[in-house]
Structure 1
């Protein structure tokens, strides 16, 4: 797969995520954050499972055999995903959709920072200003002066460290295993099982709550988890983590578009300019490395 095709998949994933913020707030049926997270990820895992089994058989027979290190890496990715999703979901239930979408974008500049400090990975110079501009653009798009921190915002902020770590781990595991669908399903199942076990003990959900929240679980599980997270894993096999984070940040733009189309929300000129900053940042990180200015000069 060419990098441009991988980036298209990442953009589609961002589009799906952008439309799911409202559902994650109003479609839980009263379920707690941990239980809702577990349920939606199990639904997503079930949707992708048949394709993952087929890919596992093909890769295991013809390309490489899976070893214990692969499985432990995928399990670790699932644990990080569960932590990120649970913290974010808890925050969404105690703040506004606008704030949660804006604050989640903090993971964008964190990805190259963690990659540099922990993994010693260098990135193209365009990634640094593009990451900062994505965050600034998200702030403007979210309303700028209207964004005030609420109690749930701290939980969303905490989730961004794990979202950034998850983006990096997904790229590593997808490249190592050559089986992105297998990586996707393993992390979904780990996240789902942890969510239902911990949620059952801590939140004590009822059958009525599952009944009231079934449509939200199915919508977010099939689309946001099953489709979008799988597209992320597939796309990140061919796109660097820092670049992927910037592309995925466009979910904020798609959230605003969805609000305008389906909820009748309108954006001011200032907010539209924030969306323009995000899109410009994505174009910069894609096009600058291909330009003469972005290519390293040969040694004389």
Structure 2
């Protein structure tokens, strides 16, 4: 008979990560009215990296080349993903962005298959399909209307970067200490964003407590989130982690509803699909018995 396993500590931790992600959209949306995307991403992750350096300064003294390389690889994908999504949100709606970013859900198992040589199980594919359908419903009908411009292409590249980040974390998290890898990737993401400002023609914004509070608060949260991801994905496959991360827009819809945004029926159905996808991925089908000779 098929069985359902209860969530592990690592899976519960990743569910908490999606709760944090779902609540950050409103903060980022407001902060970007007062500063550019590269500046905000750079300040956010430099804050996270410096805070991690202060907390884990003793452990950082023993950073190996493998840990530094792993942190740099993941840091590049973090910088690319957050920067591209912020750039896209300047020209497209949030629903359109949510739909296109959700493309990372089917991309991750393909990358996992190619990079890690781990083919997903049948119920993983079922869970991915349900989660992706739920993301499409949560994005709303506005996600599929209108022309395809620079903002859409940037957000599609963001989805590829997010998928690469999830797969790389699973690949690199086992190469050393999660604390050292986390600090390196945060510093790399923040530094790349700040260095890219003059290249993109972005200038320093006028002082505002809004972007100060938003970047500092999200910076501390990002440090904890990346630390949890590096720890949890040592024991969880990229495919399973992706299905859990697909719950992000569910929490985003809850936060938006609390802020006064309407919650249409399609969003409720989409949330149910994502929950069903998480449960379906936990089902273990019985192995086929070989016939006796």
| TM bucket, shorter chain | 0.7 to 0.9
Question: 1:85 Cα deviation (Å)?
Answer: 1.4
| Alpha carbons 1:21, 1:101 under 8 Å: kept | no
Match of 1:272 in 2: 268
| Alpha carbons 2:28, 2:214 under 8 Å: kept | yes
Match of 1:124 in 2: 121
After superposition, give the CA deviation of every residue in 1:140-192 in whole Å (9 maximum; x if it has no partner).
12223665356422211111111101101111111221x22222111110011
Structure 2 segments unaligned to the other structure (5+ residues): 1-5
| Alpha carbons 2:71, 2:183 under 8 Å: kept | no
Question: 1:298 Cα deviation (Å)?
Answer: 5.3
Cα distance change of structure 1 residues 49 and 149 upon mapping to structure 2, 3 Å threshold: farther
After superposition, give the CA deviation of every residue in 1:229-279 in whole Å (9 maximum; x if it has no partner).
322222111211110011011001000000011x21221223201100001
Match of 2:31 in 1: 27
Q: Give the alignment of 1:57-136 within 5 angstroms.
A: 67-136=64-133
1: CA distance, partners of 2:209 / 2:66:
39
| Alpha carbons 2:133, 2:270 under 8 Å: kept | yes
Match of 2:17 in 1: 13
2: CA distance, partners of 1:253 / 1:72:
34
1: CA distance, partners of 2:141 / 2:274:
14
Q: Give the alignment of 1:192-271 within 5 angstroms.
A: 192-208=190-206, 213-223=211-221, 225-261=222-258, 263-271=259-267
**TM superposition score normalised by structure 2:** 0.88
Cα distance change of structure 1 residues 264 and 212 upon mapping to structure 2, 3 Å threshold: closer
SS at match of 1:165: helix
Matched, 1:43 2:41: no
Structure 1 segments unaligned to the other structure (5+ residues): 61-65
2: CA distance, partners of 1:244 / 1:33:
27
1: CA distance, partners of 2:142 / 2:201:
35
Root-mean-square deviation (CA, aligned residues, Å) is: 2.3
SS at match of 2:116: coil
SS at match of 2:38: helix
1: CA distance, partners of 2:58 / 2:97:
37
Cα distance change of structure 1 residues 44 and 111 upon mapping to structure 2, 3 Å threshold: same
| Larger mean Cα displacement after TM superposition, 104-113 or 23-32 | 23-32
| Alpha carbons 1:25, 1:97 under 8 Å: kept | no
| Alpha carbons 1:35, 1:198 under 8 Å: kept | no
Cα distance change of structure 1 residues 126 and 52 upon mapping to structure 2, 3 Å threshold: farther
1: CA distance, partners of 2:76 / 2:239:
21
SS at match of 2:203: coil
| Alpha carbons 1:32, 1:203 under 8 Å: kept | no
Cα distance change of structure 1 residues 123 and 146 upon mapping to structure 2, 3 Å threshold: closer
**TM superposition score normalised by structure 1:** 0.86
2: CA distance, partners of 1:233 / 1:149:
38
